[in-house]
């Protein structure tokens, strides 16, 4: 009943905010250039700099949470922005696929091949449920990464605990913020039809309209529906996405309400090999991506619904107030098996009995911020204060095993599921019933010296972590202050040198006596430089991230943990050792030949060391390498507006992932692989309307590869990469 009350209150809050809005001029479109941070004598007032609504060109502006909206180029944090055009041109089925396709520090997991989707950024995992939307953490989506209502996606390579507050389940090293679509001044009227291999038709729409004397009111809604067979045998999907936005843009007040819905059903998905780190052999060559390693009746369904409202208000005292509140409810139903490799020489594998699951999650997120500016002599202060709150309830149920071991004796190169019949059971056994709450208070001050060419940011966040385990009755509460430091030198708008120190927090573990340890603290140090040469932009940065390890504590004998515990030197949940990531990132993109040729290239070098680190099996590794983390990743892309056919654009993209290890001791390597995509796009006028037709071939050379994933501690997993995929789509704007 309480959850229904929360959902009902949101529209009332929005309606009340709309009712009190002033009927004033809302023309903000021409203000985008004025908010770019410039190294001149004019001071940029905070109340105006950070108040531009997100309904224009979003490529250069990002939402940095506590630090407000900023220019991505001059920000003291590494940020990559993906606007709506990138998503459209890639015909993105999932957001994580698009982000991972171009950024060399990123790998995606899940994507089209799995239910749970997310990213590895600089070797560290970030789940979809940890993404923010319009500055509110944890409300984007719990499982799937939909794209229908995404206006931009901002990948922020820095500690999310510093900028937006700690996620209830913890995240390290990065964050993603989604900006939703809003109605443009000209209106939005677009319909689309697409076809994706093997046989998945897709219909899409995108409509928006502004009203009022000054177009201060706006309504926008967008959606996608895709259904059919993927290129993998026996793997089907049914995907539904919908987003609704209503907003008001006054001179001082801006209010927005968003409703988002996504539903995805898959049959024959989530064929994943478990715990490769335990094998005493290297994995065999990957099979053809068309081969399915699980039967088609292995079914999973996810559903997420979000309601949220945000506001910004420019006061008369050189200060802006902003905030928002939202609620997300997610559900997963299905069952899946765990695959195990038996004989690497032949590719023989087996499957453990499948387990049914019913997983529900409810997330409430809110924020209230104040930003402003004042001077102390020649020094300009841009200050900020915020209160952030995220609460997530998790209710997990499982059930009896659905079948024995039907895949024994089969190989990954020719599995045979004929004669197998599903045995469906219900998920009724409670496994998780927990609520985690992470309120926090944060402050920051950015000092501008020498006409704002030298900027120093000092700040910090006081974080509370509360955990209520309703199954065991345990209640724990911890708190910690985390500092944030950043500096940048911006002698001109085309050049910046920056550095930062930031910390991330993750919930501590509960020991055998029911006591929670303090939040685990990860630390990041980064130095970077960006230069705009005119037609070419280059960037380079180095970083180090350290993250503490901790004992799992599930063994009683014949392990390092058991030995040290007997000597009172170890306890479950206690910190032990660390994992350390040191990396170099190089990126360049250009706009050449009168802006008709747009190449880009990026390279990432990373060393991920384990130092006195406890593994999943409660053994210590003195010096090791974190599993499934390639030392080298390179990505390149190009778009060419052809001179011989007006409106025709050709494109190509290459992703190379270097070798990685399936075990921390570096005994067994996983091979490198390279993926190539090619495509074309044709844009023309039909009367007063615009028709865009696009097509592409993904994984052009049909490369067989293992897409690697990482779990907690040193756990490593693998799924078979998707095969060659064709798609074709047409969109009409009218």
Residue 407 has a pLDDT of 63
CB atoms within 10 A of CB 631: 16
Q: Of 430, 438, 511, 517, whose CA–CA distance to 471 is shortest?
A: 430
Residue 472 has a pLDDT of 85
**461 or 336, which is more confident:** 461
pLDDT category of residue 11 using cuts at 50, 70 and 90: very low
CB atoms within 10 A of CB 227: 15
Q: Which domains does the chain have, with CATH numbers?
A: 48-413+429-733 (2.40.170.20)
Residue with the two structure tokens 């991230």: 545
CA–CA separation, 292 vs 685, rounded Å? 43
Q: Decide: helix, strand or coil at residue 152.
A: strand
For residue 622, how many C-alpha atoms fall within 13 Å in the half-sphere facing its CB? Answer: 0
- Report the pLDDT averaged over residues 136-152: 95
- Report the pLDDT averaged over residues 243-252: 97
CA–CA separation, 315 vs 321, rounded Å? 7
Residue 86, H or E segment: helix 84-89
Phi, psi of 475 (to 5 degrees): -130, 130
Residue 17, H or E segment: helix 2-19
Report the relative pairing of strands 175-180 and 132-133 from DSSP bridges.
Answer: parallel
Residue 123 has a pLDDT of 92
Contact yes or no for 306/326 (Cβ under 8 A):
yes
| Mean pLDDT over the full length of the chain | 88
Residue 98, H or E segment: helix 95-102
pLDDT category of residue 475 using cuts at 50, 70 and 90: confident
Phi, psi of 598 (to 5 degrees): -125, 85
CA–CA separation, 525 vs 503, rounded Å? 9
CA–CA separation, 244 vs 43, rounded Å? 37
Contact residues for 542 (Cβ-Cβ < 8 A; gap 6+): 526, 527, 528, 582, 583, 584, 585
Contact yes or no for 696/678 (Cβ under 8 A):
yes
Residue 40 has a pLDDT of 35
CA–CA separation, 667 vs 350, rounded Å? 23
Q: Decide: helix, strand or coil at residue 96.
A: helix
pLDDT category of residue 403 using cuts at 50, 70 and 90: low
- Report the pLDDT averaged over residues 564-588: 95
Residue 392 has a pLDDT of 97
Residue 515 has a pLDDT of 63
Residue with the two structure tokens 């990469």: 721
Q: Per-residue DSSP letters for 413-447?
A: TS---TT---------EEEEEEEEE--EEEEEEEE
pLDDT category of residue 514 using cuts at 50, 70 and 90: low
**168 or 508, which is more confident:** 168
- pLDDT single digits (tens) 263-296: 999 999 888 998 999 999 999 999 999 999 998 8
Q: Of 49, 47, 54, whose CA–CA distance to 34 is shortest?
A: 49
- Report the pLDDT averaged over residues 607-631: 94
Residue 617 has a pLDDT of 94
pLDDT for 204 beyond 90? yes
Give the ranges where 129-188 is alpha helix by DSSP (H).
160-163
- Report the pLDDT averaged over residues 118-130: 93
Global confidence as pTM = 0.89
CA–CA separation, 12 vs 325, rounded Å? 12
Query: Any bridge partners for residue 454, and if so which?
Result: 449, 489
Residue 640 has a pLDDT of 98
pLDDT for 5 beyond 50? no
């Amino acid at each position: 009943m309480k959850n229904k009350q929360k959902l009902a209150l949101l529209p009332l809050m929005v309606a009340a905010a709309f009712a009190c809005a002033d009927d004033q001029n809302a023309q903000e479109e021409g203000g985008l250039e004025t908010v770019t941070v410039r190294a001149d004598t004019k001071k940029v007032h905070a109340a105006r700099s950070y108040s531009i609504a997100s309904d224009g060109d979003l490529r250069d502006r990002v939402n940095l949470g506590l630090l407000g909206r900023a220019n991505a180029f001059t920000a003291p944090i590494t940020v990559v922005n993906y606007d709506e055009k990138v998503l459209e041109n890639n015909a993105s089925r999932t957001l994580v696929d698009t982000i991972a396709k171009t950024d060399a520090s990123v790998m995606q997991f899940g994507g089209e091949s799995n239910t749970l989707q997310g990213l590895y950024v600089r070797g560290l995992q970030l789940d979809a449920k940890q993404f923010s939307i319009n500055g509110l953490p944890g409300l984007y989506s719990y499982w799937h990464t939909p794209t229908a209502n995404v206006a931009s996606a901002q990948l922020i390579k820095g500690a999310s605990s510093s900028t937006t507050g700690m996620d209830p389940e913890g995240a390290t090293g990065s964050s993603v913020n989604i900006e939703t679509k809003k109605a443009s001044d000209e209106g939005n009227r677009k319909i689309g039809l697409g076809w994706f291999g093997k046989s998945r038709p897709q219909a899409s729409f995108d409509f928006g309209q502004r009203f009022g004397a000054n177009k201060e009111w706006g309504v926008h809604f967008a959606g996608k529906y895709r259904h059919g067979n993927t290129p993998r045998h026996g793997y089907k999907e049914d995907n539904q996405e919908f987003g609704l936005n209503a907003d008001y843009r006054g001179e001082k007040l801006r209010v927005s309400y968003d409703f988002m819905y996504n539903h995805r059903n898959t049959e024959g998905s989530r064929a994943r090999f478990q715990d490769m780190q335990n094998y005493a052999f290297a994995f065999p060559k990957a099979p053809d991506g068309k081969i399915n390693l699980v039967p088609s009746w292995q079914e999973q369904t996810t559903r997420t619904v979000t309601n949220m409202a945000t506001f910004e208000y420019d006061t008369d005292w050189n200060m802006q107030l902003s905030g928002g509140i939202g609620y997300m409810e997610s559900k997963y139903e299905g069952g899946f098996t765990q695959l195990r490799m038996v004989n690497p020489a032949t590719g023989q594998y087996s499957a453990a009995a499948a387990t049914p699951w019913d997983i529900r999650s409810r997330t409430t997120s809110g924020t209230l911020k104040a930003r402003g500016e004042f001077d102390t002599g020649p020094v300009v202060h841009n200050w900020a204060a915020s209160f952030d709150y995220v609460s997530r309830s998790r209710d997990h149920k499982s059930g009896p095993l659905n079948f024995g071991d039907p895949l024994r004796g089969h190989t990954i190169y020719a599995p045979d599921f004929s004669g197998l019949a599903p045995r469906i059971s219900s998920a009724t056994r409670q496994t998780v019933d927990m609520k985690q709450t992470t309120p926090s208070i944060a402050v920051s001050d950015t000092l501008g010296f020498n006409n704002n060419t030298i900027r120093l940011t000092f700040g910090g966040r006081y974080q509370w972590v509360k955990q209520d385990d309703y199954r065991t009755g345990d209640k724990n509460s911890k708190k910690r202050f985390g500092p944030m430091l950043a500096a940048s030198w911006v002698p001109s708008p085309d050049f910046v040198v920056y550095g930062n120190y930031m910390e991330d927090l993750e919930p501590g573990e509960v020991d055998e006596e029911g006591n929670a340890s303090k939040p685990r603290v990860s630390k990041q140090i980064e130095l970077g430089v960006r230069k705009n040469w005119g037609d070419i932009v280059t960037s380079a940065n180095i970083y180090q991230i350290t993250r503490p390890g901790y004992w799992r504590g599930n063994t009683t004998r014949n392990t390092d943990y058991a030995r040290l515990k007997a000597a009172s030197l170890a306890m479950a949940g206690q910190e032990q050792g660390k994992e350390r990531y040191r990396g170099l990132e190089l990126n360049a993109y250009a706009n050449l030949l009168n802006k008709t040729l747009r190449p880009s290239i990026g390279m990432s070098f990373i060393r991920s060391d384990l130092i006195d680190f406890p593994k999943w099996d409660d053994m210590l590794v003195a010096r090791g390498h974190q599993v499934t983390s390639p030392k080298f990743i390179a990505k390149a892309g190009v778009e060419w507006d052809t001179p011989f056919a007006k409106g025709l654009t050709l494109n190509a993209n290459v992703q190379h992932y270097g070798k990685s290890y399936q075990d921390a001791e570096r005994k067994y390597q996983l091979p490198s692989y390279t993926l190539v995509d090619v495509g074309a796009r044709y844009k023309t006028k039909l009367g007063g309307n615009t028709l865009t037709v696009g097509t592409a071939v993904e994984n052009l050379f049909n490369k067989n590869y293992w897409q690697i994933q990482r779990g907690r501690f040193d756990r490593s997993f693998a799924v078979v990469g998707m095969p060659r995929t064709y798609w074709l789509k047409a969109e009409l704007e009218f």
